[in-house]
Chains A and B, each alone.
Chain A
Amino acid sequence: MLDKNGIAKRIAREVKDGMYVNLGIGIPTLVANYIPEGINVELQSENGILGMGPFPFEGEEDADLINAGKQTVTLLHGSSIFDSAMSFGMIRAQKVDLTILGAMEVSENGDIANWKIPGKMVKGMGGAMDLVASAKNIIVAMQQVNKAGESKLLSKCSLPLTGVHCIKKVVTELGVYDILPHGGFKLLERAPGISIEQIKNATAGRLIIEGDIKEMLL
């Protein structure tokens, strides 16, 4: 079973040279640590950065320079800064090649819920609704099973939706799935040491398994 870093490491393999990539908060942020050498990407932060760099060295933090998670960051050579309207303009116009974000639930028809638990957690959607509505290529990074042991890959989301029919790929601690255009989680890879049986038990939505499913390379 993969830990958070393992999920991030597997997703990093989806990142291709020359891409503009938006990383959400949580596991997606970790993906930046595993982008292979020789692959050059520009990270977009929706508060207004292209070419975001790592955290600053101690003592070099700048209150005016933060990422979408409000963490202090740095700028790489060749970076640019812009306002929020332009930032979401480039997202809406599909200039950003790849979006990686977390989720509380994903359904077999590609719906995603990740912003609200009625009566419990109401923090807001931030930029998530804009991202999922416009991005052409979204990967969801998530734990497949919640703390109560229930699957988060469902036939239908139970929480308020963030977007509909927008997710095409999910990477979890157990496996990698494509969401097919006509619905269903198609299992592509198993996490190291995970059996098909374990994956079946952890998937509440329609699971499609065709042929021999290989273990993922990390």
Chain B
Amino acid sequence: MGIVWYIISLPKTKKNLIFVALLFCMINKVVKSADEAIKDIKDNMTLMLGGFGLCGIPENCIAALVKKGVKGLTCISNNAGVDDFGLGLLLQTKQIKKMISSYVGENAEFERQMLSGELEVDLIPQGTLATRCMAAGYGMPVVFTPAGVGTEIAQGKEVRKFKFNGTEKDYLMEHAFDSDFAIVKAWKGDAAGNLIYRSTARNFNPMMAMAGKITIAEVEHLVPVGELNPDHIHTPGIYVHRIFQGEKYEKRIEQRTVRKK
């Protein structure tokens, strides 16, 4: 209470300064660039990166990581990009030590590094990947899933029988991911860190945003607080620590499939 009386007793000009400072501490998560957002990412850290294929990937942060040159990274991401885009860029520069993914086709450099043993690869089912992110964001240390029971990915994992939906079957115990940073891409966001994704660029971004010890969000449109409809927000700002408006989004299409008019 003492501090409150102290603030009240201050002259008006000083009081205003303190209020402005408080406002900034509480809600302003805006950083000016990708470089600033990733400045404390260090060698050998574990990162989660949102996106499915090249859709909804944090292009600006990936470019900044290449520029910064951090090495020995463990990357949790559904895919590993293509040779010259997405996480493929970090593979080319050999900054990734280990990939945790569900599907890594369409990337020759990845395949070469994996077969030569330069790159450690942990392939896990896509739903398991999503759910291990979700578990981290929901504060659950483990989840049970039937995916992979009886296959090589079950090796060394605890198997338990549960009855669900009227059937008893085996489930694998899977652990929540533990990552230093989560880097996600959203369509719109505000200074409080609230995020809205667009179309299937949503994919893994919401649950990775929830799962990072520190979550960095890059957005196509950074809007003033109050502009986003609370009913439309996919990721509440509480999960996001840093946000910035990205630039020059390439949004490359991996498989352009069309029909004639």
Q: Which residues of A contact B (CB under 8 A)?
A: 45-49, 54-67, 69-73, 75, 81-85, 87-89, 91-94, 111, 119, 122-130, 133-134, 160-165
Contact = CB atoms under 8 A, between A and B. Distances in A.
A73 B148 CA distance: 29
A87 B130 contact: yes
Given A129-B147, A130-B125, A47 B261 contact: no
Given A47-B200, A64-B251, A133-B149, A124 B102 contact: yes
A135 to B, nearest CB: 10
B184 to A, nearest CB: 11
B114 interface: yes
Given A56-B259, A163-B150, A164-B151, A61 B203 contact: no
Contacts of B114: 122
B33 interface: no
Contacts of B130: 83-85, 87-88
A124 B104 contact: yes
Nearest to B121: A122
Contact of B257 (A55, A75, A81, A93): A55
A133 B204 contact: no
B123 A66 contact: no
B203 A92 contact: no
Contacts of A124: 101-105, 123
B104 A66 contact: no
Interface in B169-222: 187, 198-207
Nearest to B220: A64
Interface of A, secondary structure class, is loop
Interface stretch (B6-14, B22-30, B52-60, B223-231): B52-60
A66 B253 CA distance: 9
B254 interface: yes
A133 B151 CA distance: 11
Given A55-B257, A85-B133, A125 B200 contact: no
A53 to B, nearest CB: 11
Given A72-B256, A85-B134, A164-B151, A127 B199 contact: no
Nearest to A111: B150
B105 to A, nearest CB: 4
Interface string B145-174: 111111111000000000001000000000
A88 B131 contact: yes
Nearest to A83: B206
Contacts of B253: 61, 63, 66, 72
A122 B111 CA distance: 8
A83 B52 CA distance: 11
B133 A58 contact: no
A28 to B, nearest CB: 15
A147 B153 CA distance: 28
A67 B256 CA distance: 11
Most chain A CB inside 10 Å of its own CB: which residue of B128, B133, B151: B151
A7 to B, nearest CB: 20
B126 A161 contact: no
Contact of A130 (B78, B123, B128): B128
23 contacts: A46-B127, A47-B200, A55-B258, A56-B258, A58-B260, A60-B258, A61-B258, A63-B201, A63-B252, A70-B53, A84-B127, A87-B127, A87-B130, A122-B111, A125-B126, A125-B153, A126-B102, A126-B125, A127-B127, A128-B125, A129-B151, A133-B146, A133-B149
Contacts of B256: 61, 71-72
B151 A84 contact: no
Most chain B CB inside 10 Å of its own CB: which residue of A48, A54, A161: A48
Given A47-B203, A164-B149, 5 more contacts: A55-B257, A126-B126, A127-B126, A133-B148, A134-B146
B116 interface: no
B137 to A, nearest CB: 9
B147 A133 contact: yes
